[in-house]
Amino acid sequence: MKELKTPSFVLNPRFIPLFETLEASIDEAKTIALCAHTKPDGDAFGSVLALAALLEKVAPEKEIFCLLADNEEPSQTFSFLKPQEKFLTPAAFEQTCRENHRDLNLFISLDTPLLRRLGHAGEIAEHAKKVISIDHHLSRQLFADSSIVDENAAATGVLVGQFLLYLQEKLEKQLIDAEIANDLFLALMTDTGRFQYQNASSECFALAAWLIANGAEPSFLSTQIYQSEPLALLKLKARVTERITLHCDGLLAYSFATADDFEELGIRPTDADGLVDIVRSVGGSQIALFLKELDQPIAAPVQETSQQQNQHQDQSSKEVNGQAHIRGSLRAKGDADVASIAAHFSGGGHRAAAGFSATGTLESVAKEVIELAKKTLR
């Protein structure tokens, strides 16, 4: 008889030496900051909050700070997590450091492949004594002193879950609780598109089952994330749905939201981050493209090559001094690699989910992406 496979969430021994380094760095530090990428998503919030709760249990004598990458308010979707109570903006953190003559000993970056994705907090990381990165992105820059990276992990939350297992085994003590379980479940649920994307592996379901057994509440979390939308956002979704067009013989679906949409409906562009999912639901499409046109230039500057700048010579009213005003999201359903398309605009992400910022108009950027997609889909 074939051996029966019983999936379970167990410690991957490959991480043990890396976790030993992380643990030693935590031991040495007095003040620790945890921070994920700009425009935080469920994995960013979930992995930071879970790790913070874990550190407060195992190292209560340390000063632990959760930082936002930007000084702006995060998406409304996550207001149930009370980020204003649990997180400091980079500006507020820098102020308390100045006032209390505090030095930052350890900066733990989560879910962030590039230093510039840490936004304003990037400068705090650069001044920290030590930086450790915990991440699952494919294309990445080595900006940390040490990195714990697994591209096959469905979410950064999986790696935080692994570190939790490591500490539980080492301390021979249960550390998981309902709060940590909910934070990690949030990370997993959102980064796998409610357990639907290619990264929804058996490990991911095993972790989900373990988290539920330890107090995570999937129905509470999915109500907060997927069934609590402001009516104005649903109206924007209607506009975006209406505008979907198909390209590349139906293999690429495209839609967009304009700066006027955001103004008329009173929605912040940040709150429209998930709209690419409407585009990806078109039957037969392999790649989904969603573009947002912003009124203001995108905060983190896009490092462009001169070649890209040459391609954007047709100036538009929204293009000022070559600054990026278009934010693109890409998703792939089959084997298509959208990370390579995003990389063309100095963006990043995974094969199946990537993003970028670009200069130009909605029309010119869409045209450029469609041309690149034709090659990928061939």
Torsional sign, CA 337, 341, 342, 343: positive
Tell the smallest beta-carbon distance from residue 47 to Mn ion (Å): 7
DSSP string, 350-361: -SSEEEEEE-S-
Site residues for Mn ion, window 139-178 (CB under 5 A)?
A: 155-156
Determine, following the binding rule CB under 5 A, whether residue 304 of this chain makes contact with Mn ion: no
Contacts of 256 (CB under 8 A, 6+ apart): 240, 243, 290, 291, 292, 293, 362, 366
Taking the C-alpha atoms of residue 136 and residue 230, their distance in angstroms, rounded to an integer, is: 31
Which of 191, 261, 293, 304 binds Mn ion (CB under 5 A)? It is 191
Integer CA distances (angstroms), 14 to 10, 148, 158, 166, 343, in order: 12, 10, 14, 11, 29
Residue 30, phi then psi, degrees to nearest 5: -105, -45
**Which residue of the chain is nearest Mn ion when measured via CB?**
43
Taking the C-alpha atoms of residue 322 and residue 358, their distance in angstroms, rounded to an integer, is: 9
Among the candidate windows 53-61, 82-90, 185-193, 225-233, which touches Mn ion by CB under 5 A? 185-193
Residue placing its CB nearer to Mn ion in the complex, 111 or 304:
111
Tell the smallest beta-carbon distance from residue 111 to Mn ion (Å): 4
Residue placing its CB nearer to Mn ion in the complex, 191 or 271:
191
If 0-12 CB within 10 Å is exposed, 13-18 middle and 19+ buried, where does residue 239 land?
middle
* Closest by CA position to 83, among listed 128, 118, 121, 48: 48
Taking the C-alpha atoms of residue 183 and residue 334, their distance in angstroms, rounded to an integer, is: 29
Tell the smallest beta-carbon distance from residue 262 to Mn ion (Å): 25
Determine, following the binding rule CB under 5 A, whether residue 183 of this chain makes contact with Mn ion: no
The residue ranges of DSSP E strands in 75-138, in sequence order, are 87-88, 106-110, 130-135
Among the candidate windows 37-45, 102-110, 197-205, 366-374, which touches Mn ion by CB under 5 A? 37-45
Tell the smallest beta-carbon distance from residue 41 to Mn ion (Å): 7
Which of 37, 50, 65, 111 binds Mn ion (CB under 5 A)? It is 111
Residue placing its CB nearer to Mn ion in the complex, 156 or 346:
156
The residue ranges of DSSP E strands in the chain, in sequence order, are 31-36, 63-67, 87-88, 106-110, 130-135, 146-149, 245-247, 252-257, 287-293, 326-332, 348-349, 353-358
Which conformational region is residue 248 in: left (phi greater than 0), alpha (psi within -120 to 50 degrees), or beta? left
Among the candidate windows 168-176, 184-192, 293-301, 344-352, which touches Mn ion by CB under 5 A? 184-192
Q: Write down how long the chain is.
A: 378
Residue placing its CB nearer to Mn ion in the complex, 43 or 368:
43
Encoded one letter per residue, x for contact with Mn ion by CB under 5 A and - for no contact, window 232-271 reads ----------------------------------------
Residue placing its CB nearer to Mn ion in the complex, 105 or 156:
156
Residue placing its CB nearer to Mn ion in the complex, 46 or 360:
46
Residue placing its CB nearer to Mn ion in the complex, 190 or 308:
190
Residue placing its CB nearer to Mn ion in the complex, 208 or 257:
208
Place of tokens 């390579």: 340
Tell the smallest beta-carbon distance from residue 39 to Mn ion (Å): 12
Encoded one letter per residue, x for contact with Mn ion by CB under 5 A and - for no contact, window 38-57 reads -----x--------------
Tell the smallest beta-carbon distance from residue 251 to Mn ion (Å): 26
Binding residues (CB under 5 A) for Mn ion: these are: 43, 111, 155-156, 191
